[in-house]
Amino acid sequence: MPKPFDKLTATAAPIMRGNIDTDVIIRIERLVGNGIRGTLGKWAFGSLRYLPDGSENPEFILNREPYREAEILVTGPNFGCGSSREGAVWSLQERGIRAIIGSGFGDIFFANCFQNGILPVLVDKAVVDQLAADIEATQGAGKVSIDLEAQTIVSPSGARHAFEIDPRRREGLLKGLDEVALTLQRDNEIHAFQASDRTARPWIHSTRISA
Amino acid sequence: MPGRSLLQKIWDQHVIARLSEDTDLLHIDRHLLHDLGGSRGLLDLKSRGLKVHNPELTFATPDHALSTAPGRAGTSKIGMELLAALRVETAASGITLFDVDQPGQGIVHVIGPELGLSLPGATIVCGDSHTCTHGGLGALAFGIGSSELTHVLATQALIQKRPKTMRARFEGKLPLGVTAKDMILALIGHVGAAGGTGYAVEYAGSAISALPIEGRLTICNLSIELGAKMGMVAPDEKTFEFLRGRPYAPQGEMWDLAVKAWRELPSDPDAVFDREVVIDVEKIIPQVTWGISPEHVVGVDGIIPDPKAVDDPARRAAIETALEYMGLQGGAPIAGTPVDWVFIGSCTNSRLSDLRAAAEVARGRKVAAGVRAWVVPGSENVKREAVAEGLDKIFIDAGFEWREPGCSMCLAANGEVVAPGQRSVSTSNRNFVGRQGPRARTHLASPASAAASAIAGAIADVRMMGR
Ligand code: SF4
């Protein structure tokens, strides 16, 4: 069940390269196995964060102060494209990230964020560029505020930006709703659908091979 | 009222409840599980005290974490544990498992169509982004994350926002040596890796109608690489012929009933799409990627982009990053770049027609010295059919290694990796940083182009191979 999200004021790290895919966010071999939850934070952005010898890459933003403490990412276009691996979100979450502000997200990654109580904020590229510039102007010291209830972002310079979000998603995050439990409350509707669909499309429902 | 599209027709048929203006609770007709996420989902469900809602609509197979070496030698301890857990948990829930060495096992997106599990008009999900592949049969198929996977296990339903619709029309006659893979890579090059974000794409036009089903599956497979989590082709007579008689396809009277319904699915002539793209396939030449996103693609006779010639600073930086990772020089021809590895396989290009196309190039020739070339059939059934045709022998005689079915070197989750700094031509779908192993360099191409590159020892234009 996701943790509720309402407001956050935190250090934000701009990672502006486009097309950062979920393979780059977390390598697949870190996700092989059923006991991986809780082990992923240190592998988030592994290929960017560590040098081939395993030491930290001092150039990478999350290895620098004060961005080490970042709870918000400000991202370039098409962040989280590629694989459906929810481990990408888990690794960011375990690394301490609670919100991502970007100009474009991979569709599946975007949905996975909400499932884990992470807020992805979709805004125009101009807003992302301004946030990144404001953050860099304070060398990361200036914090970014996000208010989900009011649907606003405040940049370190004080500039305020409104953002749009699907009302269902918003409510789910604000209350930390469990979608499985909610859908199960409609189980009679699911059964009713299946009963009538069995007449309309019997081939969908009889899947046992007779031969 | 304008006509309805294929997507709208399938969508409307699956709405259990309207949750908001643009979000519905959809019935899921087929849920496919694999070894990486399947047992995790089933265990998650158990820990919540819930049961699988419709085990008879759920199917499982191991593919990602298995070694594809003969006898599955070298499957990691953790890969074996995942396989064991998948066996135990599917059996406990009454879910059909297509197990190792059994007909039916294979890459989940190869076996769905092959077994007739994937049907026109069906909603199909799997915890894997390339589930869009099944759209090649006229299904509404898409990848989901782990939480959604648990949701489907528990409810046989999923909450989904209606996507925007895009139609990509491929018109004209495909030139010799150009394949479905080249068509879709060319489209990605045209619209970009985020061009389809938020859309369901319907592929249409004379060149799509002319494609055999396996080519349509290849096209739909790469939908996610243009950002679209759903891609589809309207079902037609070829679709029905492909499915007829497959183990899980409807039979007898039920078949007639199904085909009658499927004929109603294609988009109405006056259906309106949010975006339309037209591609002239006669202008397409075999494609190969040069960078770290599938949108980094050129014709094999083309030039690697030169960052110095690009004005936009963001684009220039992106090209520089890609070239540095790939160890390539901007402004040089892509053909002739020496390669270390060739991988023919993956849910994009491991079906019988793909292996035939590669074998046609490999027959009577030899893999260049210093190149390791693998052929990994997509499923146990593909493997058996290929062996029956003697394709394995053609490959082995030419110096390729012939492997067991699975995902293998497409994602490097099974110990099968390209070494750091080495260069691979791969028929898979992602040339991402580290996708085939840490610091591995991947060039995506068609099976024929990959086979030609194995023979040449360098990225090669299959049209110059004289067959
Ligand atoms: S072959 Fe590759 S892309 Fe396809 S399902 Fe397996 S890992 Fe994913």
Burial status of residue B132 (CB atoms within 10 A of its CB: 0-12, 13-18, 19 or more): buried
- CATH 3.30.499.10 domain locations along chain B: 6-275, 287-465
> Which ipTM was obtained for this model?
0.95
Provide mean pLDDT across the span B407-420. 94
What superfamily in CATH does domain B287-465 come from? Aconitase, domain 3 (3.30.499.10)
Structure tokens at A5: 């999200």
CB B150 within 8 A of CB A175: no
pLDDT the model gives residue B1: 77
User: DSSP label at B445?
Assistant: -
Question: What's the average model confidence in pLDDT over A55-66?
Answer: 96
Residue A3 CB neighbours (<10 A) = 11
* pLDDT surpassing 90 at residue B417: yes
Ligand 1 centroid–CA A178 distance in Å is: 30
Tokens 């592949």 belong to which residue? B133
Averaged pLDDT for residues A127-134:
98
DSSP, res A30: G
Judged by a CB distance cut-off of 8 A, whether residue A52 touches chain B is yes
* pLDDT over 70 at B153, yes or no: yes
Percent of chain B with pLDDT over 70: 100
Q: B56-86 burial, b if ≥16 CB within 10 A, otherwise e?
A: ebbbbbbbbbbbbbeebeebbebbebbbebb
pLDDT at B218: 98
| DSSP state, residue A148 | T
pLDDT digit string, tens, across residues A70-94: 999 999 999 999 999 999 999 999 9
- Ligand 1 centroid to Cα of residue B411, in Å, is 7
pLDDT at B465: 87
Structural domains in chain A plus CATH codes:
7-205 (3.20.19.10)
| B98, β-bridge pairs | none
The alpha carbons of chain A give a radius of gyration, in whole angstroms, of: 20
* CATH code for the structural domain at B6-275: 3.30.499.10
CA distance B397 to chain A (A): 33
pLDDT of residue A211: 45
Yes or no, beta carbons of A23 and B295 under 8 Å apart: no
Answer whether residue B32 shows pLDDT above 50: yes
Chosen for mutation from B27, B82, B146 (greatest number of chain A CBs closer than 10 Å) is B146
pTM beyond 0.90: yes
Distance, CA of B142 to CA of B224 (rounded, Å)? 9
Which pLDDT value is given to residue B59?
98
Proportion of chain B above pLDDT 90, given as a percent:
98
Among B239, B283, B281, which residue's Cα sits nearest to residue B259? B239
Q: Is B194 on the interface with A (CB under 8 A)?
A: yes
- CA torsion sign for A135, A137, A143, A149 is negative
Give the sign of the dihedral formed by CA A1, CA B126, CA B405, CA B367. Answer: negative
How does strand B441-444 pair with strand B423-426? parallel
pLDDT at residue A209 greater than cutoff 80: no
User: Cα(B223) to centroid of ligand 1, in Å?
Assistant: 14
Say how far apart CA B20 and CA B266 lie, in whole Å.
27
Give me the pLDDT at residue B467, please: 65
> Cα(B329)–Cα(A202) distance, rounded to whole angstroms?
58
Ligand 1 neighbours, Cβ below 6 Å, are: B 63-64, 107, 109, 128, 130, 346-347, 407, 410-411, 428-429
- pLDDT class of A208 with cuts at 50, 70, 90: confident
Partners of A153 in the beta sheet? A146, A161
Name the residue among B43, B155, B257 with its Cβ closest to that of A183: B155
Question: By three-state DSSP, how is residue B105 classified?
Answer: strand
Q: Tally Cβ neighbours within 10 Å of residue B205.
A: 17
Q: How far is CA A131 from CA A99, A157, A160, A161, B114, in A?
A: 14, 9, 10, 10, 50
Tokens linked to A89 = 């979100």
Distance from CA of A67 to the nearest CA of B (A): 22
Per-residue pLDDT tens digits for B339-398: 999 999 999 999 999 999 999 999 999 999 999 999 999 999 999 999 999 999 999 999
Query: If phi over 0 gives left and psi between -120 and 50 gives alpha, with beta otherwise, what is residue A159?
Result: beta
Q: Mark which residues 172-201 of A lie under 8 Å from B by CB.
A: 179-180, 183-184, 186-187, 189-190, 193-194, 197, 201
Mutate to test the pocket of ligand 1, among B82, B133, B184, B346 (most ligand atoms within 8 A of CB): B346
C-alpha to C-alpha distance for B417 and B409, rounded to whole angstroms: 6
